[in-house]
Structure formats: C-alpha cells, structure tokens
Structure 1
Amino acid sequence: MTRKRSATTPKLQETVRLGARGLGKILGDLEARVLESVWRLGLPSPSRAVHAEVIRSHEVALLTVITVLNKLVAKRILSRRKVDDLYHYGALMGPEEFQAFASRRLAEGVVDFAPSRMAASIVDVLAERDPAQLDELARLVEEARRRRGK
C-alpha cells in the first residue's frame, strides 16, 4: 500500500542507483552534494554561498549549481525566496526527516518485489554489515506488532 502524495511531498525519481553512495542513490550525485551543502549552511542561503560550499569538495560552475538548486526546488526538496534581489535556497526537510521520507519511499518501492525474500535479504545484509542493527530491527518489529494489537 503506497501513501497518497500531496502537492508538498518531495518528488523523488522512480529509480534507485545501486552503485551510488548515500543520497546519490535516490538523487543525482550533484543534487546530493548540493542538498548536503544547503543542510550544512543551515539557513536559507544565496546560490553563491551554496556554490562556495559545494566546490570545497567538487569543482563545478556556479550556473550548474544554480540549475541543480532550481531542480531541487521543482522536486519540492528545497524552497526558494527572494531576499534583497537574490534568491535564497533552504531545505524543506532536515537530513533525518528527509532520510526517513526517502527510506520509506524506497521500502514502498521494493516491498512488492518478493516481500518475504526482501525481508530475508534485509536481515542478511544487516547481519553482515552491522549486527547491532538486528537488535534494533527486532525492537522495531515488536513495537509495530504492539501498535497493531498483536
């Protein structure tokens, strides 16, 4: 069951880039860098400030950053408002809220693909990469069962 999307819900691409890292899996690599830069800046900031943050780790032209900022506005991930004749860009969600939203969308997208096999694969991957997360998964499953009255 997928949730109905509202006019303010971020629009994420329908494909996942399995070989990418972090947010790059669900956004483009440069989109991920730009969004992370906006988060680091904290307050809504002009494009030049975002560009200055991005180029610390990735050489890119200012106009390219502006294009990406506007794409993220169109995807309802960033807001844009004019302050003293300059557009200022700010995140509509913080990192944790965005990760929770994106993780939920990802789970909704893969759960229809062999649900029991997906659950087993998640358990296997957690056991390999971070066994402590298995305890957290067990806690979350128990919490969900209690909420459902089982």
Structure 2
Amino acid sequence: MRRLGELEAEIMDRFWRWGRPATVREVVDDINRHRSVAYTTVTTVTGILFHKGHLTRTREGRIWLYRAAATREAYAAALMEDGLGASEDRTAALARFVENLDADELDALRTALHEAERRTDG
C-alpha cells in the first residue's frame, strides 16, 4: 500500500476524525478554515481515494456521501505490513522496529500478541 499524498491524508483525516459520511463540500469547507483549496481539487482527490478503495460512497439524491472504508489504524497496519514486506529479512526488520518502541508501546504489543495467541488457540 502506498502512503497517502499530502492532500489525500488531509482528506482522509477528516473522515477518520468525523467517523461519519460526509460530502465533498463539507471537506472543502473544513480544509478552507485552515488553508485555501479548490472544490474541484478536493472532488478529484476524493474520487481518486474512492477508486483506490480508501473511501466508499453512496448517493443521496444528487450528492455523493463518502465514508472511510477502513479505520486509520487499519491503514497504519497495512503500511507497517508493506514496510516489513520491503525487507528481505522480515524477522530482522520486525526486531529493528520493536527496538524503537517505548515502554507503553511494548506493553501494547505484548497485549496484542497475547490476544492473537488466544484467538489462534481458541
């Protein structure tokens, strides 16, 4: 999975934070509170995000409502998986990644590993 571009990430951030369907107009208006962006530009990038599978959409009258297809965490996990896949030695890459975790992140990783073991044993 390729990393999102700057505007793609800015658009996806809104859908992830809002946790609800939204129109392009809502996204444009929110971005324009911080910086200027054209409606047509956001429409184009939102369409690209839809075709890449990052957004789903449903029609409400004449308007498309978009929603994040997956959570921000699922996106981050897919990036990490791709990062591991870029290495010829996944085990070494994973070990190097773990070396950079702080104590809280290590605790979270231990918890996740125990839960994964329980699911596979059960």
TM-score (normalizing by structure 1): 0.65
Task: Find out whether 1:111 has 2:84 as its counterpart.
Answer: yes
Counterpart residue type for residue 141 of structure 1: L
Aligned residues: 119
Q: 1:80 to 1:146 in 2, by over 3 A?
A: closer
Kindly state the Cα deviation for residue 101 of structure 1 after the two structures are TM-superposed: 4.5
Counterpart mapping for 1:64-103 below 5 A:
64-93=41-70, 97-103=71-77
More helix by share: 2
Amino acid of the structure 2 residue aligned with 1:121? R
C-alpha deviation, 1:41, in angstroms: 4.2
Unaligned 5+ segments in structure 1 are 1-11, 14-25
Amino acid at match of 1:37: R
Deviation per residue, 1:11-37 (Å, 9 max, x gap): x42xxxxxxxxxxxx211101111122
AA aligned to 1:133 is: E
Q: Within the alignment, does 1:124 sit opposite 2:99 as a pair? A: yes
State the identity as a percent: 33
Please tell me the root mean square deviation across aligned C-alpha atoms, in Å. Answer: 2.4
Q: Which runs of 5+ in 2 are unaligned?
A: none
Structure 1 stretches of 4+ moved >6 Å: none
CA contact (8 A) 1:38 1:45 kept: yes
Structure scoring higher RCO (CA < 8 A, sep ≥ 6) equals 2
User: Matched residues in 1 for 2:18 and 2:115: separation?
Assistant: 36
Q: TM-score of the superposition, structure 2-length normalised?
A: 0.77
Shift of 1:138: 2.6
